[in-house]
Amino acid sequence: MPELPEVETIKNDLITRLVGQRFTKVTLLWPKLVRQPSAEDFCHELSSQTVKSIRRRGKYLLFDLANGKKLILHLKMTGCLLLQPSSTIPELHTRAILHLDNGTNLHFLDQRKFGAVWLVDNEIEVVGFLGPEPLDHRFTIWALRKALGQHKVPIKVLLCDQTAIAGIGNMYADEALFEARIHPLKKASDLSTRETERLYRAIGHVLTEAIARCGASVNTYQLPNGEPGFAHLFFQVAHRRGERCYRCNTPIKRIPLRGRGSYFCPRCQTM
């Protein structure tokens, strides 16, 4: 699933290409992609609207439109956005095409059909449940300590809880915990002051570095121009089960946790 760094990379790329452009038509190849309003109203209301700005909130992309409405997209597990010339034949898993007045189209591809789009008056309807942004200046170490103290779940579970911290998912939770030398099963409320400080620094560092590397292409993620990201080439533990830890040469382990796989080094990250 694209996480904060991937969605931030997409946002940054689309800002330079789409702000000021107007949607001329919507081609829905899978109407269930639209969660709100109806598919018919979505196509009608989005057509003729100009993109004023593009933002990210957690793993969501938000397009601010000229009429005040918000176009919101979530890529879920296998979604990606590609900018294509208007003459491009849609690929097999293309679920929607947003036609633009500059001769390009924004294709929403989604192999597993988990992605979603909304067109709403108030973004709070869709993203109001999200916790603080981990790269925002208001996300302080005190905010992290407060979140940790309120939860007795494993720290990996808390990091992936979008109501606690927005945007972190499986990959970057594993990477941050490795950098902070914290076992993924340790209870969030049991972290020491020193561990909390290390985790706070690790979250910021891991996410910032991944954005600089244009995100991680470990599945279907691509930049809007079709190029892959390369953050995964620098992963320390994520998706490296059985490979040697770069720090201590111990084989990386993978354990199941709440339906997800958690990667960690059993020597560097002890309970």
Element (H, E) at 173: helix 170-180
Give me Rg for the CA atoms of the chain. Answer: 20
Q: Which residues of the chain are modeled with pLDDT < 50?
A: none
pLDDT of residue 122: 97
Q: Could you tell me which residues are beta bridge partners of residue 256?
A: 261
pLDDT at 204: 98
| CA dihedral sign, ordered 252, 161, 94, 29 | positive
Q: Can you give the pLDDT at residue 123? A: 98
What pLDDT score was predicted for residue 237?
98
260 is catalytic: yes
Let me know if 59 is a catalytic residue: yes
Query: May I ask the CATH class of domain 4-127?
Result: alpha beta
Of 246, 175, 239, 161, which Cα lies nearest the Cα of 211?
A: 175
Q: What is the pLDDT of residue 29?
A: 97
Instruction: Please give the CATH architecture assigned to the domain spanning 141-264.
Output: Orthogonal Bundle (1.10)
Catalytic residue status for 3 = yes
Cis amide leading into 31 (omega within 30): no
Which of these, 112, 155, 125, 165, lies nearest to 4 by C-alpha position?
165
Selecting among 11, 59, 70, 198, the annotated active-site residue is 59
Catalytic: 267?
no
Q: What is the pLDDT of residue 220?
A: 85
Angle between helices 193-212 and 170-180 (to 10 degrees): 130
Per DSSP, 39 falls in state H
Give residue 1's pLDDT. 81
- Write down the number of H helices and E strands in the chain: 7, 11
Structure tokens at 84: 């294509």
pLDDT tens for 230-263 read 999 999 999 999 999 999 999 999 999 988 899 9
User: 3, 45, 123, 179: which one is catalytic?
Assistant: 3
Asked if the domains at 4-127 and 141-264 fall in one CATH topology, the answer is no
- pLDDT number for residue 160: 96
Q: Name the residue ranges covered by the structural domains of the chain.
A: 4-127, 141-264
- Report which residue type is found at 246: Y
Per annotation, catalytic residue among 133, 253, 260, 266:
260
